[in-house]
Amino acid sequence: MTPRSTKCKKPAARESALVGAIVEALRAVPGLIVRKRHGTAWGVAGDPDLTGCYRGRHFELEVKTPAGALTRLQKARLAEWSRAGSITAVVRSVDEALAALGIEDGT
């Protein structure tokens, strides 16, 4: 019998933890409103995770882990929001979320 490896693998980042970190960072920006969408019977399937407004511009952000991929429905929903004039982005980090909204250094 061979001994099992005792190496600890780093767990993959959970999307929920990433969403929480992004929401926390965005809420610290003066004049920015952000809301997390929750899947409910009243929601629209495929809509992005985060919605809000910054400096008069509506935004929709889809949060994915570094390995996460968009579904066809998520791509379609982002395209709908974009056609309507919203800022849209797929973000994989706090820095990407801030950059998508044109925010540098959290200001």
Q: Which domains does the chain have, with CATH numbers?
A: 15-100 (3.40.1350.10)
Looking at per-residue confidence, does 106 or 77 come out higher?
77
Q: How is the chain split among helix, strand and coil, in percent rounded to 5?
A: 30, 20, 50
Measured distance CA(66)–CA(84) in Å, rounded: 27
pLDDT tens digits for 33-50?
999 988 766 777 889 999
> In residues, how long is the chain?
107
Please name the residues in contact with 80: beta carbons below 8 A apart, sequence gap of 6 or more.
none
pLDDT tens digits for 57-89?
999 999 999 999 999 999 999 999 999 999 999
Residue 12: pLDDT band with limits 50, 70, 90: low
Section 83-101 average pLDDT: 97
Task: Check residue 69 and report its DSSP letter.
Answer: -
Q: Give me the phi and psi of 35, to 5 degrees please.
A: -135, 140
Amino acid at 16: S
